[in-house]
């Protein structure tokens, strides 16, 4: 019996299935396996190595003891939906109805999956920035959409406005942005967000904005595209508690949008996970209500970590691109004589006891070739770990 189906499309779209029919593990899985096999410092996958706020962890323990262990409501627990609405009001001045305009999901990943599956039909075009978070490619392929991309240009990884204008057409169903951006740590300026809103109107497209790093910006405060004039009606905003509260394993995410969009998304989401993470929902609700100092504190802590790793990479001989947000910094290995970052990443555990991820893993072939010597390193690790990584990387230049 031959086995086929949407998995093939998804695997091809995610760049994992090649002509030989063999599915490769994602580069993240490969690099994490390499890190555990060699004991190298894992700066490949973006997960913190320290726990988040004690109150948030305690709230989850309490919820389990209190018996919050069964299916929560389909839209998410009221306490969390109210906390999400209050968070959007407090930080961005957006007023939401928690019963009609907020949906809790199994991480930002399920939010992305249900939005893309809800709105993309065969042949619809979906525009994303490139490099792009790997799930975008797989999900667009799963929904039989056509993936068009707008390259982020060196040295600051910003999209060219003419490229954006050319990519968005009347065939575009969704413009998916990721701001702040993984893997580059770039932040889209207001003018670019305004252009995206203008293009969405002109071509009757929806904007999907993945803002999981909203609290991890190092220069300017985050601007949600939904707050721009004319944006709200056609914007679906996605976020998640994982990065903000160091709880990436809890997979508590959410969507905010106007009611009719939420309804369409729920129609799909109910058949994906239906619901998830009952005891973690009140804990994330508590986290969202923490005082302002918590949120400014995580950004300044991470800015310091960025500085430690960026300085270490520069000292080791990499060309380092400044990261303005997120967990990640991009570094060019070409000055060290390494043109192929994928090969370098495979050798890096042996050469320096460190794991990174090649930027090509976030690109289609053309940009992958252009960015072949770039590596993404995660700095969401303890300072002593980053210092050790920096010291070990300094071996490379010798
Ligand atoms: C840009 C981006 N979107 C979505 C996700 C997934 O978020 P979650 O773990 O909440 O599903 C990540 C995780 O790394 C990410 O970097």
pLDDT tens sequence across 312-327 = 999 999 999 999 999 9
Q: What is the pLDDT of residue 16?
A: 78
Number of domains in the chain: 2
Residue 2 lies in a domain: no
Q: At 10, is the pLDDT very low, low, confident or very high (cuts 50, 70, 90)?
A: confident
Alpha-helix runs per DSSP H in 39-174 = 54-65, 78-92, 107-119, 134-142, 161-167
**Mean pLDDT rounded to a whole number for the chain:** 95
Q: For residue 1, is pLDDT > 60?
A: no
Which helix or strand (DSSP H or E) is residue 331 part of?
strand 328-332
- Assign residue 189 the CATH number of its domain: 3.40.640.10
- Assign residue 300 the CATH number of its domain: 3.90.1150.10
Residue 72 lies in a domain: yes
Q: What is the mean pLDDT of residues 120-149?
A: 96
Q: At 9, is the pLDDT very low, low, confident or very high (cuts 50, 70, 90)?
A: confident
Q: For residue 110, is pLDDT > 70?
A: yes
Do 178 and 307 fall within a single domain? Answer: no
Burial track 24-34 (b if 16+ CB lie within 10 A, e otherwise): eebbeebbbeb
Q: What is the mean pLDDT of residues 207-212?
A: 98
Do 13 and 142 fall within a single domain? Answer: no
Tokens for 214, please give them: 């909203």
CA distance 151 to 132: 9
Q: At 398, is the pLDDT very low, low, confident or very high (cuts 50, 70, 90)?
A: low
Residue 391 lies in a domain: yes
CA distance 13 to 147: 9
Residue 331 lies in a domain: yes
Q: What is the pLDDT of residue 2?
A: 61
Residues spanned by the domain of 352:
8-51+293-397
Do 38 and 148 fall within a single domain? Answer: no
Q: How far is CA 363 from the centre of its chain?
A: 14
Alpha-helix runs per DSSP H in 93-219 = 107-119, 134-142, 161-167, 190-202
Pocket test for ligand 1, best of 26, 43, 47, 108 (most atoms within 8 A of CB): 108
Picking from 256, 288, 320, the residue at the C-terminal end of a domain is: 288
Closest ligand 1 atom, residue 242 Cα? 10
Q: What is the mean pLDDT of residues 214-227?
A: 97
Q: For residue 23, is pLDDT > 80?
A: no
Q: How far is the CA of 105 from the centre of ligand 1 (A)?
A: 12
CA distance 286 to 218: 24
Closest ligand 1 atom, residue 106 Cα? 11
- Reduce the DSSP state of residue 269 to 3 states and report it: helix
Residue 148 lies in a domain: yes
Picking from 288, 315, 348, the residue at the C-terminal end of a domain is: 288
Question: Looking at per-residue confidence, does 152 or 22 come out higher?
Answer: 152
CB distance 158 to 191 below 8 Å: no
Q: What is the mean pLDDT of residues 219-223?
A: 96
Q: What's phi and psi for 387, nearest 5 deg?
A: -65, -40
> Distance from first CA to last CA of the chain, Å, rounded?
55
Q: What is the mean pLDDT of residues 376-380?
A: 98
Q: What is the pLDDT of residue 21?
A: 78
CA distance 78 to 318: 48
Do 61 and 114 fall within a single domain? Answer: yes
Q: How far is the CA of 394 from the centre of ligand 1 (A)?
A: 30
Picking from 288, 309, 339, the residue at the C-terminal end of a domain is: 288
Q: How far is CA 304 from the centre of its chain?
A: 21
Residue 1 lies in a domain: no
Q: Which of 25-39, 64-78, 173-187, 368-382 has the lowest mean pLDDT?
A: 25-39
Q: What is the mean pLDDT of residues 149-162?
A: 97
Do 368 and 392 fall within a single domain? Answer: yes
Do 40 and 63 fall within a single domain? Answer: no
Residues paired with residue 42 on neighbouring β-strands, in sequence order: 355
Closest C-alpha to ligand 1, atom 4: 108
Tokens for 392, please give them: 């070990």
Q: For residue 3, is pLDDT > 90?
A: no
CB distance 180 to 186 below 8 Å: yes
How many other C-beta atoms can be found within 10 angstroms of the C-beta atom of residue 16? 18
Do 242 and 302 fall within a single domain? Answer: no
Residues with CB under 6 A from ligand 1: 46, 107-109, 133, 178, 182, 210, 212, 240, 242, 248, 251, 253
Residue 339 lies in a domain: yes
Do 14 and 95 fall within a single domain? Answer: no
Q: At 339, is the pLDDT very low, low, confident or very high (cuts 50, 70, 90)?
A: very high
Do 381 and 264 fall within a single domain? Answer: no
Q: For residue 143, is pLDDT > 80?
A: yes
Q: What is the pLDDT of residue 8?
A: 83
Q: What is the spatial order of strands in the sheet that 319-321 belongs to?
A: 319-321, 328-332, 374-378, 357-358
Strands 374-378 and 328-332: antiparallel
Q: For residue 32, is pLDDT > 70?
A: yes
Do 139 and 65 fall within a single domain? Answer: yes
CA distance 274 to 351: 46
The percentage of the chain sitting over the pLDDT mark of 90, rounded to a whole number, equals: 90
Q: How far is the CA of 64 from the centre of ligand 1 (A)?
A: 25
Do 99 and 177 fall within a single domain? Answer: yes
Residue 195 lies in a domain: yes
Do 74 and 45 fall within a single domain? Answer: no
Q: What does each C-alpha distance from 342 to 27, 357, 358 come to in angstroms?
A: 9, 7, 5
């Amino acid at each position: 019996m031959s086995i086929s189906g949407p998995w093939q499309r998804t695997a091809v779209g995610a760049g994992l299935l090649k002509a030989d029919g063999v599915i490769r593990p994602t580069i993240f899985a490969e690099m994490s396996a390499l890190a555990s096999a060699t004991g190298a410092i894992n700066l490949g996958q973006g997960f913190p190595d320290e726990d988040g706020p004690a109150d948030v962890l305690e709230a989850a323990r309490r919820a389990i003891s209190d018996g919050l262990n069964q299916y929560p409501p389909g839209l998410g627990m009221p306490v969390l939906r109210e906390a999400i609405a209050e968070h959007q009001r407090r930080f961005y001045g957006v007023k939401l109805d928690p019963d009609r305009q907020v949906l809790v999901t199994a991480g930002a990943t399920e939010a992305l999956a249900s939005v893309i599956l809800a709105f993309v039909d065969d042949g619809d075009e979906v525009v994303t920035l490139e490099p792009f978070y790997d799930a975008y490619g797989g999900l667009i392929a799963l929904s039989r959409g056509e993936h068009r991309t707008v390259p982020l240009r060196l040295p600051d990884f910003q999209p060219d406005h003419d490229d954006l204008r050319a990519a968005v057409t009347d065939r575009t169903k969704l413009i998916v942005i990721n701001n702040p951006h993984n893997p580059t740590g770039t932040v889209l300026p207001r003018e670019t967000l305004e252009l995206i809103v203008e293009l969405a109107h002109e071509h009757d497209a929806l904007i999907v904005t993945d803002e999981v790093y909203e609290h991890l910006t190092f220069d300017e405060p985050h601007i949600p595209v939904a707050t721009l004039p004319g944006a709200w009606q056609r914007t679906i905003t996605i976020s998640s508690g994982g990065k903000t509260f160091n709880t990436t394993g809890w997979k508590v995410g959410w969507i905010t949008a106007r009611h009719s969009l939420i309804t369409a998304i729920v129609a799909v989401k109910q058949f994906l996970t239906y619901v998830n993470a009952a005891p973690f929902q009140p804990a994330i609700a508590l986290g969202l209500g923490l005082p302002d100092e918590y949120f400014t504190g995580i950004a300044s802590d991470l800015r310091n970590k960025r500085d430690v790793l960026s300085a270490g990479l520069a000292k080791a001989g990499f060309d380092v691109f400044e990261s303005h947000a997120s967990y990640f910094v991009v570094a060019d290995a070409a000055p060290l004589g390494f043109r192929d970052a994928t090969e370098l990443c495979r050798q890096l555990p042996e050469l320096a006891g460190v794991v990174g991820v090649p930027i090509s893993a976030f690109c289609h072939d053309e940009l992958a070739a252009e960015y072949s010597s770039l590596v993404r390193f995660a700095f969401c690790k303890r300072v002593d770990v980053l210092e050790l990584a920096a010291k070990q990387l300094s071996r490379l230049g010798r």
